[in-house]
Amino acid sequence: MMRALPFPALSREICLKSQKTTSTTTHTNNLHSQSMSRIGKIPVSIPAGVKVTITGQTVNVDGPKGKLSKTFAPVVSIAQDAAGIHVEPVEKSRFAGAMHGTARAIINNMVRGVTQGYSKKLEIEGVGFKAALKGGALDLALGYSHPILYKLPADIKVDIQDGTKIEISGPDKEVVGKVAAEVKAYYPVEPYKGKGVRIVGEFVRRKEGKKTA
């Protein structure tokens, strides 16, 4: 049979648990407040030549490089004035706090995308490996028995130099990154001879091949 704790010891244990819970809650609230105030509160500037329309939770951005549209969760409110585009959380939930900064960052990327655009560069290495444009598709020869035709999304432009250097550009940062990742996935760089498709600036750890006796 277990012996009951003396009253002073039990009281001390309860106090320690209470202090720990209070400290954790305060720390979480502080982090939540900091994450909301750091990025989300900064208005997104609208440069000359860019038109922004907001309809409910949908933001449309039109600029020299193209048009983009994005619909956001109803946990944030989006408004526009002379200072730019403002994003505010409409509730105090963790999700609203996270979306506060995320929505602001996405809108900023949209504005930058229609003015400056985004790009990713790829390199192809390997004997006989090359790329070419064929209509609205990217024709890839990567050592397989058949060529690969990758259909390019709308608003994506591809420039090819020497058949092995590819530059993918467009107004949508997410789409540009997605296209680069999908092209690379057809033949990722293997670590022994370095053959394959790599994103410029990406580090690939090389391995030493087997040595013959």
Express each pLDDT in 37-87 by its tens digit. 478 889 999 999 999 999 999 999 999 999 999 999 999 999 999 999 999
Whether 14 is in a domain gets the answer no
Same domain, 107 and 125: no
Q: Residue 16: what pLDDT?
A: 55
pLDDT band at 132 (very low <50, low <70, confident <90, very high): very high
Give a yes or no: residue 213 inside a domain: no
Give the model's pLDDT for residue 164. Answer: 94
Q: 124 and 195 share a domain? A: yes
Residue 26 within a domain: no
Residue 202's Cβ-side half-sphere holds a number of Cα atoms within 13 Å equal to 19
Residue 56 lies in a domain: yes
- Please list, in sequence order, all residues whose beta carbon lies within 8 angstroms of the beta carbon of residue 53, skipping any fewer than 6 positions away: 59, 60, 62
Distance CA(60)–CA(110), nearest Å, equals 9
Residues 79 and 127 in one domain: no
Tokens 């540009």 sit on residue: 176
Which has more pLDDT, 125 or 15? Answer: 125
State how far the Cα of 188 lies from the Cα of 195, in Å rounded to an integer: 8
Task: Tell whether pTM > 0.85.
Answer: no
Domain boundary among 115, 137, 152: 115
Contacts of 201 (CB under 8 A, 6+ apart): 121
Of 77, 95, 115, the residue at which a domain comes to its end is 115
Q: What is the CATH number of the domain that holds 161?
A: 3.90.930.12
The percentage of the chain sitting over the pLDDT mark of 90, rounded to a whole number, equals 62
Q: How many domains does the chain have?
A: 2
- Please report the pLDDT score of residue 92 as a whole number: 87
31 compared with 109, residue with greater pLDDT: 109
- CA–CA separation, 172 vs 65, rounded Å? 10
Residue 89: give the domain boundaries.
Answer: 40-115
Check residues 138 and 9 and name the one with the higher pLDDT. 138
Which whole-number Å values give the CA distances from 27 to 21, 22, 23, 33, 93, in the listed order?
A: 10, 9, 6, 10, 15
CA distance 45 to 34: 22
Domain boundary pick from 69, 90, 115? 115
pLDDT higher at 202 or 83: 83
In this structure, is residue 13 part of a structural domain? Answer: no
Count of CB atoms situated within 10 Å of the CB of 175:
18
* 3-state DSSP of the chain: CCCCCCHHHHHHHHHHHHHHHHHHHHHHHHHHHHHHHHHHCCCECCCCCCEEEEECCEEEEEECCEEEEEECCCCEEEEEECCEEEEEECCCCHHHHHHHHHHHHHHHHHHHHHHCCEEEEEEEECCCCEEEEECCEEEEECCCCCCEEEECCCCCEEEEECCCEEEEEECCHHHHHHHHHHHHHCCECCCCCCCEEEECCCCCCCCCCCCCC
